[in-house]
Homo-oligomer: A and B are copies of this chain.
């Protein structure tokens, strides 16, 4: 037996020889093993729990004796009595190496541990947040070596946590002295340290502080603001909440808000104040929902389109309304939350805003790129984030392109005669029998089809109130497949279609989905105007995707990812029949849920992710649709809902749309595309 022993850590496989008596935590640190510790090895925080293995480890070539670690000590004993230590676990700061040993670091003891996110798209997430709590013991003042309390705190953080160049918020200096004395020169400090700027103390508490630190990941949309409250130690989402963007009263879509700012002196400041007030309310309500103090929210991350971005920052968005669509600032921003008047949260909270890609392609699109990682894809992926504007990403690990397309709000149920937002009572699924031309549908909040028994009773409370975005897309596609609509998008009359559901409305027809007027309810019909609105929206979306495909020199994509809350509910089959997205095997069309919100959470949990997306955004090739003649060409060509003309083997079937025509101008534009019936 020598004075040293071999220590092997799993799962990392890192190994080294250490003097007998070395604490396991010390060995881990010297080897660079990822073993957590908040208290710095003082047996207070219990974050450094490890599981020693005993017996024969032929893989590692060692045999671990029962006395390979020092005996269970008083600190561990006390911890076990007070809080409980799982069977087989030891505290890494207390257990000392006494012989060759294999030590497993369980996931919850790893700082950079893989955390499974509780979201629609589950994925491993690495925790690497900007704000950490550190417990530290500070030297007491000495009259003969006078130095400030802050300088001795900084010295301690340098020695105990390797934090250099420490700064502090000015308000920290005013609180420092009583807290150091109350904690008997032991304090816990919350330090914000991202890849911009210097480490900065944002809060401190006497002694060892158990309190958790939280962050808000905020997807600031034109219509809705959605926020996730995340635990900064493990990325867990404690609560999610959303509200309508109050700027809607200044204009439904982005351009009308820019117009409002142009037409009304101080209009931009009104909109800035409105959204900041709403954000404070959202922060308070989400904290209440999660049962935490809003002061525990020490970070926020924002993703948003460029107009929302500028209005959040208090920048007049007027330049975004006219060529050359110049952003005031395009790179990421790291600033004090109070600079955005976010006063409901911690007074020293920090805010990170993801970079914008271009004047029409915002930080929300950057967040989608961070979440969906087209730059790491082996095959060519098309990612569309459908909202009032559609953000489109196309590419693979070789090259990624981005653009934005002005789809308008039709996909969200706006500008549709019976349209409404996705809420209980809204029609969200539609099928039309090609033979009888009779519809059946589902409404949000009820799992039954409208033709099934019990539907009336199940929907009695919500009623049937309108049709949402995914509902109108299915209705239009089903109407086309049932021969109620020709390739140009014209609705046939009752005579032409043979169904009394096609009713005359002036010089055009409408298709009645549901008539509740006898019971005082709504008449829900798809009008010719609705069809035109959907055609404009889908043409814009398709034209944007085609423009990027032209730029990349490809005719088809390997897979399609539908992002956005709306993208999660859309039917890939109907989207493809309608011509919203380019042809692609149906099983290669997936939904990413709220990818922008996911990207915001990733950035909240990891400064490495922030640095990565900042780099990637610089590499993404931006295409400006507004000035590209081919965009107009694609837009016009994509207006029709064409007749399928050829078999399309990759789709596994032939799409056969009825070759009807309800006017004399023929079958409308032909995009050369083929459909399959799903």
Contact = CB atoms under 8 A, between A and B. Distances in A.
Contacts of A327: 146-149
Nearest to A140: B324
A555 interface: no
A359 interface: yes
Contact of A329 (B148, B339, B357, B358): B148
A177 B315 contact: yes
B142 A324 contact: yes
Contact of A319 (B171, B177, B626): B177
Contact of A313 (B170, B198, B323, B361): B170
Given A173-B329, A329-B173, A622-B146, A141 B324 contact: yes
A331 interface: yes
B151 A331 contact: yes
Given A313-B170, A335-B170, A146 B323 contact: no
A345 interface: no
Nearest to A335: B170
Contact of A315 (B140, B173, B318): B173
B177 A143 contact: no
Nearest to A171: B314
A499 interface: no
Contact of A146 (B146, B174, B624): B624
A70 interface: no
A204 to B, nearest CB: 12
Nearest to A141: B326
A315 B179 CA distance: 13
Given A313-B170, A316-B174, A147 B330 contact: yes
Nearest to A355: B148
Interface in A300-318: 313-316, 318
A81 interface: no
B146 A357 contact: yes
Grouping DSSP codes into helix (H, G, I), strand (E, B) and loop, the A interface class, with mixed when no group exceeds half, is loop
A144 interface: yes
Given A170-B339, A177-B319, A313-B173, A146 B330 contact: yes
Interface in A122-160: 140-144, 146-151
Residue of A142, A173, A314 with highest tally of chain B CB at under 10 A: A173
Given A177-B319, A315-B174, A326 B624 contact: no
Q: A144, A316, A627 — which one has the most chain B CB atoms within 10 A of its CB? A: A144
Nearest to A145: B622
A356 interface: yes
Given A143-B627, A324-B142, A359-B143, A331 B148 contact: yes
Contacts of A326: 141, 146, 148-149, 177
A328 interface: yes
A176 interface: yes
A325 interface: yes
A646 to B, nearest CB: 37
A178 B627 CA distance: 23
Contacts of A359: 143, 146
Contacts of A142: 324
Contacts of A325: 141, 143, 146
5 nearest CB pairs, A to B: A148-B330, A146-B358, A141-B326, A150-B329, A148-B329
Given A141-B325, A146-B624, 19 more contacts: A141-B326, A143-B627, A144-B622, A146-B325, A146-B327, A146-B357, A147-B330, A148-B329, A148-B331, A149-B326, A150-B328, A150-B329, A150-B330, A170-B313, A170-B339, A174-B316, A176-B315, A176-B328, A178-B316
8 contacts: A143-B323, A143-B359, A148-B327, A148-B356, A150-B329, A150-B330, A150-B331, A174-B328
